[in-house]
Structures are given as C-alpha cells and as structure tokens.
Amino acid sequence: MKEGKVYLVGAGPGDVGLFTLKGKHLLVQADVVVYDALVSPEILALIPDSARRIDVGKRAGSHPVPQGEINRILLQEAMAGKLVVRLKGGDPFLFGRGGEELELLSEYNIPFEIVPGVTSAISVPAYAGIPVSHRSLSSSVHIVAGHTKHVPEAQIDYEALVRLGGTLIFLMGVGALEEICKGLLRAGMPAETPAAIIERGTTAAQRTVVSTVKALPEHAREAGIGTPAVIAVGRVCALAEEFSWMEKRPLGGRTVLVTRPRNRAGRFSQLLRDYGAQVIELPCIETMPLEPNPELDEAFSRLREYSWLVFTSPAGVRLFFDALRGRGKDVRALGGIKLAAIGSATAAELEMRGLIPDLVPEIYSGEALGKALVREVRPDERVLLARAKEGSAGLPKTLKAAAVAYDDLAVYETRYTWPNADVAARMLDAGEVDYVAFTSASTVRGFVNTLGRQDNLKFTAVCIGKATEAAAKESGMRTAIAKEATIESMVERMIELGKGEL
Ligand code: SAH
C-alpha cells in the first residue's frame, strides 16, 4: 500500500502570491486537504477537484473542530495512505498549534514534513507600509499572543515588553485591544507612541487604522475593526502613512471573480493581481471534446470539399486539432484550406500550430465574423464551422441570410462545473466582489447555472464583447463592456470603473 504522509503547510496571510512554491506544489497533488478559517479563498481555489476538502475552521454559528479531532483526522487519512496537506494560515508554527498536530503523528510514526509560511506578524504590517524593524527606530521585534485560551491576557508581562523598547506585534488581540493598550500605558509606555491595527491584511479587504497607543482602541472601535487583525505598537508605525502602497495600486482593494475555464484563467488572473486586485477563480465552464463524433469523422473525410475552416474559440482550435491527431492525421490534411478566427486569442491558438489565419474580423463577435466571411467567400466555396455544440446563432444566421454554403460542426460541448462555488457564493452574498469578468456568453450561462439566478447583484459584470454583455444583461446584471475584445482591455475597463467610483 502507498505510504501516507502529512505536510503541515503555511498558507501565508491571504494574498495568494505569498503562498510558497513548495506549498503550492504539494497542494495541487494532495489527496486530502484539511484547512482552517484563515486560509484565503484564492488558495483554496488551488485545491484539485479530486482532493477531499475538510474544513476544520470556525464557521459563524458553529464551533471549530476540536484539536483532538483534527489530530485524529490527520492520523486516519495518513494511515489510509493519503497525501494529506494540513493547511494553516500564516506560518504553521506561529500560534498555529502546529506542534500539537505533530504529536499524534510522531507517536504513530507517520512521516511528515513542515512547510513554513509567510507569517501575518511581519507581512501584514508590511502591506500597511510598516517595516517591523528600522535602523533608527526599532532594533527588536516581539510577537505576542494577545489572547489565547491557554495564555490569558493577564499573563502578558507589559513591564518587560515596554522595557525592551522594540516593535510589539500582537496577534489574536482584537478582543483584548483595550486591555493591551492599557497594560502598556500602565507599564510606562509614552501615551503618544505610534500604534496601528490592520484588519484582513494582504487581502483586497485590508483596512488600516494608525493612531497612538492611547487612542487606538477608540479609533479602532469607530472604524469597526474586527478579527483577524494584527496590532503593531512602536515608533515604526509612524511610517505607515508615508509608506502605504497597497491601496495606491490601480485595482488595489478590488475583488474580481474570473469565470473562465480553469485551463485558461491563469494569465488573466495574473494580470489582475499585478494591478493589485484580489482574484477568485470560478471556473464555471469546462470544454469537453465530443467523442465519438460521426459528423466530425464525416467532415474529416471530406475536408478537401471545404475552402474555409472557421474557429470561434481557442478551445475549438485545440479540440479540432486533438481530434485530427486522434485520427492519425496532421495539419497536412487541411491542404490549402483558408482559416478564419473570431478574435486574437483564437488566432493565437492557430499561430501556435504554425498557421496564420486568413481572416480575423475587427470586432469580436459571431455576427462580425459572419459578415466578414460573407464578403470573402466566393459563391462556389463551402465553409466548415468548427465550434461548440451550443455555439451562438449569430454566425450561421448571417451566413444563411447571404446564401453562403456552410456546415456547422460541433467539435466540443461546454459543460457547467462548480468547484469553489461555495466560496464564490459566500463572497457574492456578502457584497465582497466588485467585478465579475465574463469572456463569453457561455461563461455567463455557466455562472448563472452554477450559482443560481441572484437578486440584488452587487457587482458589475465586465464583459469581453456585445454578445457576452447581452447574456449578462438578460440575467439582470449591471454591465460594462471592454473597448477591445481582449483581457487587457477588460482590465483597463475595471480600472476606469474604479476611478469613477471614487
Ligand atoms: N499562524 C498565523 C497566526 C495564527 S493566530 C500566522 O503566522 O500568521 C491568528 C491571528 O493571526 C489572528 O487573530 C490575527 O491576529 C493574525 N492574522 C492572520 N492572518 C491575518 C490577516 N490576513 N490580517 C490580519 N491579521 C491576521
């Protein structure tokens, strides 16, 4: 039997870019993932569909799974031969009870490894522009548990902390903020010492309150700061204003839901993250080849009769050539056929195969492609459309109206999928999503199919083109449309929208 193993992995503070390469490498091959409430949805989105997810974190209204139970789950799964990833917020050994989780494993000789994570204690202040140490302001950093069940707040030695004179970082301290500040003042800390509290640091929802050790509790209360938050006390906090950078990025503080099929989401998400957005991937459609496919066999046997081969999506190109290959053929089977592509991404997919399309319409839409074909196709020529089973009606309608001879060949079908739907639904409900990006009408349908028709939509649907926008409008969404049919242009549109809202 395969030997099981447990990896105790730090997930970092929230920003998926701060998750380690090693952590990601393990997560994508996990059989079982056991995770806490603090692990960000972007990281949970990396869990493969095939893995079992076990949420042992706190949920509103219910209690977290007791520690003993978590230890038993890890043991059981590892003994069943599974690759178990135990994912914890920040670093697993800093106030993460990581040590306790190893005791039982070690007792039973279950192999394990530790993958440290970026701790919130240092990274969250950094995202608020606070360097925890500074040559002329602070030469030591002390990380303190503001509250735990086992170490009551009363046990914090405030005199010692004040005497050290460095930067003080309190985790789990929101509930005890007033006690902490009072304790420090009582121990002789100057009332005007700079102090800050940072809520949900490194995420799009990050909020920072900078004040003094005397006034911080009141200012935090006014701002309604809640958990999780990091409290920083010390002279370095005075730098927060000058060094703040998170909110200054073009999409800083924005959350975007990307609905593309998973295998195509990567570049889009990265671009959004580069501009400072928090990105949630909801791959609500997936493209599946139609096999067996007698119509396709038939079309392949008569390829010479066609003068034009038309693609309306990158998936169509990919799956068409896969099908060709699967029948022992290669591009030479196409002979001198002319190629049309609906837009730049589809064209790029052809170019990757050494094929330069003869026709790409200026506007990205089925109708525009149809019109361009009507102009180009000679009366004696026949057109083969290689596209999705549920492809939109605009293209064939335009061809038909102009009496162009064509065959509409279904190469693949679009299926709706729903990994991460629970995470996305929760964020949409809470009004935490600013923009939902739609790159085709089928992603709109997939979205509605996955999440149900939603009322009181609080986000703007940013659409790649007109047909997509029409589908989004039909579903009752507030929409915006990209100037050009590219993901870059969609990102620009989001930046513009953000400026308009300020
Ligand atoms: N192991 C974790 C800390 C666990 S204790 C780490 O290394 O970061 C939980 C506390 O961490 C929270 O109460 C809060 O103080 C802090 N914390 C974790 N993530 C945070 C975030 N994104 N923003 C602010 N505080 C955070």
The residue among 44, 25, 42 whose CA lies nearest residue 34 is 44
Neighbouring-strand partners of residue 195: 211, 233
Closest ligand 1 atom, CA of 93?
Answer: 1
Report the residue among 95, 120, 230 best suited for mutation to probe ligand 1: largest number of ligand atoms under 8 A from its CB: 120
Nearest CA to ligand 1 atom 24: 229
Confidence category of residue 442, pLDDT binned at 50, 70, 90: confident
pLDDT tens digits for 443-459? 898 888 888 777 778 89
Residue with CA at minimum distance from ligand 1 atom 5? 95
Cβ pair 38, 56 in contact under 8 A:
no
SS3 340: strand
What's the CA-to-centroid distance between 316 and ligand 1, angstroms? 45
Contact 36, 56 (CB under 8 A): yes
Tens-place pLDDT, residues 204-262: 889 999 999 999 999 999 999 999 999 999 999 999 999 999 888 999 889 999 987 76
CA distance 168 to 190: 14
3-class secondary structure, 297: helix
Residues 6+ apart with CB under 8 A from 126: 132
Task: Give, for ligand 1, the residue of 15, 19, 35, 38 to mutate: max count of ligand atoms closer than 8 Å to Cβ.
Answer: 38
- Atom of ligand 1 lying closest to residue 198 CA: 24
pLDDT digits (tens, 9 = 90+) for 70-127: 999 999 999 999 999 999 999 999 998 888 899 999 999 999 999 999 999 999 999 9
User: What residue has token string 């950078």?
Assistant: 245
Mean pLDDT computed over every residue of the chain: 91
Question: What is the signed CA dihedral for 273, 277, 281, 285, rounded to 10 degrees?
Answer: -100
Ligand 1 centroid to residue 39 C-alpha, Å? 10
As a whole number of angstroms, the distance between CA 357 and CA 79 comes to: 55
Ligand 1 environment, Cβ below 6 A: 13-14, 38, 88-91, 94-96, 119-121, 124, 171-172, 198, 200-202, 227-230
Residues 493-502 have pLDDT tens digits of: 999 998 875 4
Q: CA-CA distance, 359 to 130, in Å (whole number)? A: 54
pLDDT-above-70 percentage for the chain: 95
- What strand order describes the sheet that includes 5-10? 52-55, 32-35, 83-88, 5-10, 112-115
- Which two structure tokens, joined as six digits, stand for 435? 């923009």
d(CA 179, ligand 1 centre) in Å: 19
Residues carrying an active site annotation:
36, 58
- Classified as helix, coil or strand, 498 is helix
Tokens of 143: 């990380």
- Do residues 438 and 444 make contact, with C-beta atoms less than 8 angstroms apart? yes
To test ligand 1's pocket by mutation, which of 86, 115, 141, 230 has the most ligand atoms within 8 angstroms of CB? 230
188 CA to centre of ligand 1 in angstroms: 27
- Cβ pair 323, 295 in contact under 8 A: no
Contacts of 32 (CB under 8 A, 6+ apart): 51, 52, 54, 77, 82, 83, 84, 85
Q: To 5 degrees, how large is the angle CA 220–CA 221–CA 225?
A: 60
Encode pLDDT of 348-380 as tens digits: 999 999 999 999 998 888 889 999 999 999 999
Place 152 in a pLDDT band, splitting at 50, 70 and 90.
low
DSSP conformational letter for 62: B
**Closest approach atom of ligand 1 to CA 117:** 7
The percent of residues above 90 in pLDDT, for the chain, comes to 71
Given pLDDT bands bounded at 50, 70 and 90, which one contains residue 155? confident
Which among 280, 374, 345 is positioned nearest to 482, based on CA atoms? 345
- Which residue minimizes the CA distance to atom 15 of ligand 1? 171
Using CA atoms, how far apart are residues 54 and 64, in angstroms rounded to an integer? Answer: 12
Nearest CA to ligand 1 atom 13: 172
Give the separation between CA 452 and CA 449, rounded to whole angstroms: 5
Distance 40 CA to ligand 1 centre (A): 12
State the pTM of this model.
Answer: 0.78
**Ligand 1 centroid from CA 171, angstroms:** 6
CA 173 / ligand 1 centre spacing (Å): 10
- Which atom, in ligand 1's list, is nearest to the CA of 201? 23
Per DSSP, the three-state class of 377 is: coil
Q: Are 229 and 200 in contact (CB under 8 A)?
A: yes
Q: How far is the CA of 165 from the centre of ligand 1 (A)?
A: 23
**385: amino acid identity, one letter:** L
Name which residue sits closest to atom 19 of ligand 1, judged by CA.
13
159's enclosing H/E stretch is helix 158-164
Radius of gyration from C-alpha coordinates of the chain: 28
Which of 171, 174, 202, 208 best tests ligand 1's pocket when mutated (most atoms within 8 Å of CB)? 171
Atom 25 of ligand 1, nearest CA residue: 229
What one-character DSSP code corresponds to residue 176? T
Within 13 Å, how many C-alpha atoms sit on residue 246's CB side? 24
CA distance 487 to 231: 39
Element (H, E) at 16: none
**In the chain, what is the greatest distance between 2 CA atoms, to the nearest angstrom?**
93
Q: What is the pLDDT of residues 296-350, one digit of tens each?
A: 999 999 999 999 999 999 999 999 999 999 999 999 999 899 999 998 889 999 9
Q: What is the secondary structure of 99-150 as a DSSP string?
A: HHHHHHHHHTT--EEEE----HHHHHHHHTT--S-BTTTBS-EEEEES--SS
Given the CA of residue 91, which atom of ligand 1 is nearest to it? 7
